Amino acid sequence: MKTAVHFEKVSRHFGDVKAVDSVDLTIGEGEFFAMLGPSGSGKTTCLRLIAGFDQPTFGDVSIFGESTNGIPPYRRNVNTVFQDYALFPHLSVADNVAYGLMIRKVAKQERRRVADEALEQVQLAGYGARKPSQLSGGQRQRVALARALVNKPRVLLLDEPLGALDLKLREEMQEELKNLQRTLGITFVFVTHDQGEALSMADRVAVFNEGRIMQVGTPQDVYHRPNSEFVANFVGSSNVLPSELVNELTGKSVPASLRPEAVKIVDEGGFEAEIVDISFLGAATRLSLKIDGMRLHALVDGTKAALEFRQKVRVDWDAEDLHLMYDNNG
């Protein structure tokens, strides 16, 4: 796979603060790549470094093999979609979409043709004459997406683009974005703090914390095989078993990740546990269990017979569901 974006020992310092700290990263052409992490973890700064809105303190960012150091944003073959849409309220939808083409002095008739094509791509054909105020939040986000696509960037940067949408719209847009990326075949770099978005949409995920990348892998790898306690807890929820218990179970003195859905209530064997909290989630029920002073969470079928607070149960899990975390420092 050809490399679209490459970071080589990239750092960005703001005074004493290391917003990005010696990051190495390769993003492939045509890849849907997610940068996931809490606020202040460095993911948005990395996006800004690709876009050209910021410059590295150290290291080099290259796009399709060409160094971007000192190259202004308008000379990079990338475009950015922001969370706040950044649409011009006084312009029509079509003129908003065609704005970048107007700046490049593309003829008006050609601008309109390309804008109409972009609106059709994002399922807004026929909306060109409307103003942004006449659109829903999801529609305005589609307009922002169409505007970013008209210049035919080789890399599309998306900075928390779904954060302002309600849950149902967000889920719909997740599916639409992924389908659009497959259709266009261009590289998407998606920044989010929502692990559900990253896992459901991305081909690969980079998990950030304190300016560094903790782990890079497919959503399945990052979820089922976290390399540290931070990744295990941030990407979904996880039971992190202490090294002492893991040593008793496996002979390996390292902490281990056990996902709640892997914990099963059994008739015999396993461990005796007491239910100390119950949360009904519809299709599933989340249990908080106490085992010899240790807390363990389980996610069980919500349609089964009701469980009760303070009820004693036995729990177990399959050996392969216990993931040993040898690299506990990320």
Average confidence (pLDDT) over 184-189: 94
106 has a pLDDT exceeding 80: yes
Q: Which residue has the higher pLDDT, 225 or 236?
A: 225
User: Could you tell me if 72 and 114 lie in one domain?
Assistant: yes
Residue closest to 86 by CA, chosen among 16, 20, 159, 152: 159
Average confidence (pLDDT) over 248-277: 92
User: Could you tell me if 34 and 90 lie in one domain?
Assistant: yes
Distance CA 283, CA 300 (A): 9
Mean pLDDT value across the chain: 91
* CATH number of the domain where residue 290 is located: 2.40.50.140
- What the block records as the tokens of 152 is 């035919």
Distance CA 100, CA 78 (A): 12
Residue closest to 187 by CA, chosen among 32, 52, 78, 81: 32
Residue 118 buriedness (CB in 10 A; 0-12 / 13-18 / 19+)? buried
| Residue 266 within any structural domain of the chain | yes
| Residue 329 within any structural domain of the chain | no
| Residue 182 within any structural domain of the chain | yes
Domain endpoint, select from 205, 232, 259: 232
User: Could you tell me if 276 and 188 lie in one domain?
Assistant: no
User: Could you tell me if 294 and 222 lie in one domain?
Assistant: no
* CATH number of the domain where residue 145 is located: 3.40.50.300
Domain endpoint, select from 197, 212, 232: 232
Distance CA 43, CA 49 (A): 10
Which pLDDT band holds residue 91 (cuts at 50, 70, 90)? very high
Range of the domain at 153: 3-232
CB 73 within 8 A of CB 49: no
- What the block records as the tokens of 243 is 């090294």
pLDDT at 69 (0 to 100):
87
| Residue 103 within any structural domain of the chain | yes
Which pLDDT band holds residue 328 (cuts at 50, 70, 90)? very low
Distance CA 323, CA 329 (A): 15
Q: Model-level pTM?
A: 0.88
User: Could you tell me if 106 and 171 lie in one domain?
Assistant: yes
pLDDT digits (tens, 9 = 90+) for 288-317: 999 988 899 999 987 766 788 999 999 999
Domain endpoint, select from 189, 214, 232: 232
Which pLDDT band holds residue 136 (cuts at 50, 70, 90)? confident
5 has a pLDDT exceeding 70: yes
pLDDT at 305 (0 to 100):
63
Per this entry, what is the length of the chain?
Answer: 330
Average confidence (pLDDT) over 235-252: 90
User: Could you tell me if 204 and 296 lie in one domain?
Assistant: no
Average confidence (pLDDT) over 219-229: 94
Find the Cα–Cα–Cα–Cα dihedral 86, 87, 88, 91, rounded to 10°: 170
User: Could you tell me if 34 and 10 lie in one domain?
Assistant: yes
CB 258 within 8 A of CB 321: yes
CA dihedral for 115, 121, 126, 132, sign (positive or negative): negative
- What the block records as the tokens of 310 is 């303070």
User: Could you tell me if 214 and 296 lie in one domain?
Assistant: no
CB 5 within 8 A of CB 61: yes
| Residue 330 within any structural domain of the chain | no
| Residue 73 within any structural domain of the chain | yes
CB 54 within 8 A of CB 48: yes
User: Could you tell me if 138 and 257 lie in one domain?
Assistant: no
Strands (E), the chain: 3-14, 17-28, 32-36, 58-63, 66-67, 78-82, 155-159, 187-192, 204-209, 212-217, 239-241, 256-258, 264-266, 271-280, 284-291, 294-301, 312-316, 323-324
Distance CA 46, CA 56 (A): 9
User: Could you tell me if 71 and 185 lie in one domain?
Assistant: yes
If one counts the domains in the chain, the total is: 2
Edge to edge, the sheet with strand 66-67 lists 17-28, 3-14, 58-63, 66-67
Distance CA 72, CA 75 (A): 6
User: Could you tell me if 158 and 280 lie in one domain?
Assistant: no
User: Could you tell me if 315 and 168 lie in one domain?
Assistant: no
CB 81 within 8 A of CB 145: yes
CB 306 within 8 A of CB 249: no
Average confidence (pLDDT) over 270-278: 93
